[in-house]
């Protein structure tokens, strides 16, 4: 186990203690049913590409991501579950199971007091294909039984023996394997049978439209000696069974205990099955009982026997209300009554692809099940819910959607129910290829979401949490690159996607005012907003361009407020640009925070791949995917007129990254053709003069990344050959190799050079790799100028910090960006933003001084993501 603890990764360098700490994680949920689990410890677990992410609903932020899986995470399960209320009380340790698309199941342990994480074990590889569902229950304080199902048609029942103390061990045994044939099961639920505490009941459903009931007999203290045996089948659904959930035994008529099973299907219906228990004296009596109910079994359903108790299954209710596939049903978590008894509330939560979640309860007078609460996303931009989950205390409900988004509502009513949207984490649900800081450093733009620290207006000194505050561009193509336009004026950026056109966007008035609310600072464009005439942007149903909404043209239109009937292309409402005084929720972000598109840049012959802007905000360089020299040209665009003012030829294949030197004298480019190129750039009254200074075959494999030293003409390149090389421009006509860093563990895919001390030309080079890991290297030496000689520019480099894996990505790091430190604050920490193929956007900061007590207290909260790995 690593000695590092908390959200901090530490190392010892020449300058003393150097550490890095998590500031922000943004990630979306994998688009898979059964992917989310809300644990009794209060944390929500979900799969974010190959990582298991955890977020705190109380804080509305992701607190950690757990690396370990080698394929996308499909499902998660907390033990004890929310139903195990009697085993949860006083517990200091919780376990989390996660299953992935390659059939692997991992177990994790958390100590709720300190939030210490550890990777406990990987279960034996019983599955050959992706795990689709995990379900389990605690049968005692130290023993849990859980089941896993996979696309390979195998259902495995496991036993986990755990020690409830923080330092306790964990052991897992495979009890039984069931083969279900060519139509695999995709949903499971496990429960203890009433009247027969030594028997478990397992329900499974899948592609054959049937619910299969199995019973298992627990004999002995720890191990099942009797296999799970099929008891009966429940028929009624006409499409795939997508979700199953057993209730706790419910007391009816003050004596009789009944078990309820709720099921949902792609046939858009929900069925509630009741299992009445009745004691039998012998096997012959059971046979007689079966014969007597032969006629009624057609109506009531099958009968099965477990031990000395028979169970009559009947259809309690058929719930029809959703208009699309019902992916999830879940009983409200039980509560503990005086006398150490668990009470099951008769309340069911369902989530559907019709963008609605419903709470169903029996009507008091008639007992008929009715829909008592409906919440959902009415926006046309939402595409349905993959699952719905109760908070352990039943006061909040959570859904996750097709777009990787979370939606949470909380009952804030006093005398009656009043479910209101709550703040939840957000992020990308696909690989993130690029990001950049705003020129002021106030916020971070990825492709394309805007994240910023949101300060409390009432108590500005309170803890600051990062939120997504805008989604400036929604596009039909994958967005590959983005660059902010530097210099004065309004906030503007250029983006390139899997199309041949670059697009320029400008911040609307609604965003500028929202940014002011978030940062409590006045934007840097002017003393007022009079010069911004655009309030927001709108997008047509079938268009890719975002049209401006002007401040003088805002008016209410009957069509935009109509809610008669479902959304369609003809009835899609206009966007409503809004100034947010609190962080926006998903429905608002998806449609009301667009930026207007001001220009399109035509010229490239293929999909855009890389974009950069000079530091004066006068030139933009762009490149596209290329297989030949003519297509691999770098285009220069003049900011303002947006005319093409140059076409730079050097490379034969795709230019993967470009960057201007800090004084804008040179443009550095690297390519798939393994070459680097240096272009001299000089602005004149007539336009731009440019010529190729040097072209050099720098690496043996594709060059993915490059970065200039802010203090001079040194630059670094990183390649698939696992090396980073540092070069300098000399005599304004050639490049010289200064140093080659020791070979890294994987391909180098991202670089970012931050200046430190100008006098000693010292800086920090951040290195991101294909395996998701990040390292910081200290680089120092006398500044190289255009006329320097190799001997006059000695350079030294040393690794100063390797980020802890919990602070890193789990897949390829696509981009690293340093935030310029505040020159007025000598103790300001350096913030490093990163994005990658694991769908994550991260911000970490590096520091050499002690954290404030307020920051330290944050890691001591029970829901923090401190760890031992």
| Token pair for 714 | 């040194």
pLDDT digits (tens, 9 = 90+) for 238-281: 999 999 999 998 876 665 678 999 999 999 999 999 998 876 65
Asked whether the bond before 478 is cis by omega within 30 degrees of 0, the reply is no
Mean per-residue pLDDT over the chain, rounded: 83
- Distance CA(450)–CA(740), nearest Å, equals 36
* Total residue count of the chain as it appears in this document: 869
Write down the pLDDT at residue 226. 52
518 compared with 861, residue with greater pLDDT: 518
pLDDT at residue number 254: 62
DSSP letters of 227-247?
--EEEEEE---SS-EEEEEEP
In which band, very low, low, confident or very high, does the pLDDT at 518 lie, cut at 50, 70 and 90? Answer: confident
Residues 166-176 have a mean pLDDT of 82
For 87, phi then psi, to 5°, come to -90, -15
- The Cα-based distances of 596 to 180, 530, 600, 613, 621 in angstroms read 54, 17, 12, 20, 21
Among candidate residues 59, 823, 709, the one with its CA nearest the CA of residue 441: 823
Contacts of 693 (CB under 8 A, 6+ apart): 666, 678, 679, 680, 729, 732, 733, 734, 735
Looking at the predicted structure, is the pLDDT value of residue 3 above 70? no
Between 93 and 668, the more confident residue is 668
DSSP state of 744: P
Which pLDDT value is given to residue 796?
87
Span 318-326, mean pLDDT? 94
- 125-134, 152-161, 700-709, 841-850: which has the minimum mean pLDDT? 841-850
**Over pLDDT 90: what percentage of the chain?**
54
Please compute Rg for the chain using Cα positions.
Answer: 30
Which of the four pLDDT bands, split at 50, 70 and 90, describes residue 162?
Answer: confident
- pLDDT, mean of residues 311-338: 92
* pLDDT surpassing 70 at residue 388: yes
Question: Other C-beta atoms within 10 Å of 520: how many?
Answer: 11
User: Which comes out higher in pLDDT, residue 2 or 649?
Assistant: 649
In this prediction, residue 527 carries a pLDDT of 45
Query: Does 427 have pLDDT greater than 60?
Result: yes
Residue-wise pLDDT for 193-231, tens only, equals: 877 777 899 999 999 999 999 998 866 544 545 578 999
Higher pLDDT, 337 or 869: 337
pLDDT band at 408 (very low <50, low <70, confident <90, very high): very high
Global confidence as pTM: 0.88
What does the DSSP 8-state code read for residue 640?
T
Query: Could you tell me the two tokens for 822?
Result: 């505040």
Residue 856 CA to residue 459 CA, distance in Å, equals 19
Model pLDDT for residues 524-572, shown as the tens digit of each residue: 654 456 677 788 888 776 666 788 788 776 544 444 444 444 444 445 5
Reading the block at residue 270, the tokens are 């929900």
Residue 587 pLDDT grade (very low, low, confident, very high; cuts 50, 70, 90): confident
Q: pLDDT tens-digit profile of 712-737?
A: 899 999 999 999 999 999 877 788 99
Span 438-455, average pLDDT: 90
The residue behind tokens 């927001």 is 536
Q: What are the C-alpha distances in Å from 306 to residues 175, 228, 284, 844?
A: 19, 11, 14, 56
How confident is residue 87, by pLDDT bands cut at 50, 70 and 90?
Answer: confident
pLDDT in tens, 639-678: 989 999 999 999 999 999 999 999 999 999 999 999 999 9
Contacts 24+ apart (CB under 8 A), 466-469: 466/23, 466/24, 466/26, 466/61, 466/843, 467/60, 467/423, 467/518, 467/583, 468/26, 468/426, 468/427, 468/583, 468/584, 468/589, 469/443, 469/511, 469/514, 469/515, 469/518, 469/580, 469/583, 469/584, 469/593
CA distance linking residue 555 with residue 539, whole number of Å: 17
Confidence category of residue 117, pLDDT binned at 50, 70, 90: confident
pLDDT at 852: 42
Q: What is the pLDDT of residue 664?
A: 92
Does a cis peptide bond (omega within 30 degrees of 0) precede residue 448?
A: yes
454 touches 425 (CB < 8 A): no
Q: Are 633 and 654 in contact, with CB atoms under 8 Å apart?
A: no
Q: Are 816 and 774 in contact (CB under 8 A)?
A: yes
Q: How many CB atoms lie within 10 A of CB 1?
A: 10
506 contacts 495 by C-beta, under 8 angstroms: no
């Amino acid at each position: 186990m690593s000695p590092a603890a908390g959200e901090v990764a530490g190392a010892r360098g020449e300058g003393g203690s150097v550490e890095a700490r998590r500031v922000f994680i943004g990630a979306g949920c994998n688009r898979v049913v059964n992917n989310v689990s809300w644990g009794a410890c209060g944390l929500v677990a979900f799969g974010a590409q190959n990582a298991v992410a955890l977020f705190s609903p109380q804080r509305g932020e992701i607190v950690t991501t757990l690396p370990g899986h080698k394929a996308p995470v499909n499902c998660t399960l907390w033990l004890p579950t929310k139903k195990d209320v009697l085993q949860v009380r006083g517990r200091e340790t919780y376990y989390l199971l996660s299953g992935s698309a390659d059939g692997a199941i991992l177990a994790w342990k958390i100590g709720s007091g300190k939030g210490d994480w550890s990777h406990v074990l990987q279960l034996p590889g019983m599955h050959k294909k992706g795990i689709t569902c995990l379900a389990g229950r605690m049968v005692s304080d130290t023993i849990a039984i859980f089941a896993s199902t996979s696309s390979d048609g195998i259902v495995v029942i496991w036993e986990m023996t755990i020690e409830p103390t923080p330092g306790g061990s964990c052991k897992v045994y495979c009890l039984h394997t069931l083969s279900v044939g060519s139509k695999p099961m995709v949903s499971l639920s496990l429960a203890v049978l009433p009247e027969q505490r030594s028997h478990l009941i397992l329900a499974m459903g899948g592609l054959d439209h049937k619910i299969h009931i199995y019973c298992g007999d627990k004999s002995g203290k720890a191990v099942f000696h009797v296999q799970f045996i099929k008891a009966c089948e429940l028929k009624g659904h006409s499409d795939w069974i997508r979700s199953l959930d057993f209730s706790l035994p419910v007391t009816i008529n003050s004596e009789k205990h009944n078990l309820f099973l709720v099921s949902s299907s792609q046939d858009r219906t929900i069925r509630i099955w009741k299992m009445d228990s009745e004691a039998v004296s012998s096997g012959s009596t059971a046979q007689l009982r079966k014969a007597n109910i032969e006629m009624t079994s057609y109506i009531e359903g099958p009968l099965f026997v477990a031990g000395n108790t028979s169970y009559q299954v009947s259809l309690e209710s058929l719930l029809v209300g959703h208009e699309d596939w019902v992916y999830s049903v879940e009983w409200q978590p039980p509560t503990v009554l005086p006398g150490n008894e668990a009470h099951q509330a008769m309340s069911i939560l369902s989530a559907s692809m019709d963008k609605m979640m419903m709470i169903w309860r029996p009507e008091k007078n008639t007992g008929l099940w009715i829909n008592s609460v409906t919440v959902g996303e009415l926006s046309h931009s939402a595409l349905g819910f993959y699952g719905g989950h109760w908070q352990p205390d039943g006061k909040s409900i959570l859904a996750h959607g097709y777009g990787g988004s979370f939606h949470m509502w909380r009952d804030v009513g006093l005398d009656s129910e009043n479910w209101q949207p709550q703040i939840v984490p957000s992020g990308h649900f696909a690989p993130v290829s690029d990001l950049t800081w705003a020129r002021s450093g106030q916020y971070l733009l990825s492709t394309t979401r805007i994240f910023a620290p949101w300060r409390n207006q009432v108590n500005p000194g309170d803890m600051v949490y990062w939120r997504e505050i805008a989604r400036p561009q929604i596009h039909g193509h994958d967005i590959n690159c983005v660059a902010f336009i530097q210099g004065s004026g309004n906030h503007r950026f250029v983006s390139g996607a899997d199309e041949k056109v670059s697009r320029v966007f400008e911040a609307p008035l609604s965003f500028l005012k929202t940014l002011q609310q978030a940062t409590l600072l006045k934007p840097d464009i002017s003393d007022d907003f009079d010069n911004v005439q655009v309030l927001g942007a709108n997008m047509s149903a079938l268009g890719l361009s975002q049209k401006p909404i002007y401040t003088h043209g805002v008016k209410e239109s009957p069509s935009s407020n109509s809610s008669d009937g479902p959304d369609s292309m003809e009835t899609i409402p206009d966007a409503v640009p809004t100034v947010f005084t609190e962080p926006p929720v998903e429905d608002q972000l998806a449609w009301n925070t667009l930026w207007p598109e001001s220009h399109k840049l035509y010229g490239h012959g293929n999909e855009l791949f890389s974009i950069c802007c000079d530091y004066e905000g006068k030139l933009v360089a762009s490149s596209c995917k290329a297989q030949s020299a003519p297509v691999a040209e770098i285009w220069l665009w003049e900011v303002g007129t947006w005319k093409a003012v140059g076409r730079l030829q050097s490379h034969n294949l795709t230019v993967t990254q470009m960057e201007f030197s800090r004084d804008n004298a040179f443009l550095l480019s690297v390519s798939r053709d393994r070459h680097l190129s240096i272009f001299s750039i000089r602005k004149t009254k007539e336009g731009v003069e440019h010529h190729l200074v040097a072209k050099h075959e720098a690496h043996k494999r594709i060059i993915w990344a490059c970065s200039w030293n802010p203090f001079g003409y040194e630059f670094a390149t990183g390649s698939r050959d696992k090396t980073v090389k540092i070069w300098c421009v000399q005599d304004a006509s050639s490049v010289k190799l200064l140093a080659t860093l020791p070979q890294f563990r994987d391909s180098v895919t991202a670089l970012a050079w931050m200046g430190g001390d100008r006098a000693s030309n010292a800086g920090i080079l951040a290195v991101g790799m294909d395996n998701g890991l990040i390292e910081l290297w200290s680089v120092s030496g006398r500044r190289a100028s255009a006329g320097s000689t190799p001997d006059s520019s000695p350079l030294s480099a040393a690794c100063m910090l390797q980020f802890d894996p919990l602070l890193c990505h789990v897949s390829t790091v696509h981009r690293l960006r340093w935030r310029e430190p505040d020159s007025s604050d000598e103790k300001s920490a350096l913030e490093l933003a990163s994005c990658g193929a694991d769908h994550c956007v991260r911000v970490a900061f590096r520091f050499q001084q002690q954290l404030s007590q307020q920051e330290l207290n944050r890691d001591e909260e029970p829901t923090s993501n401190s760890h031992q790995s």
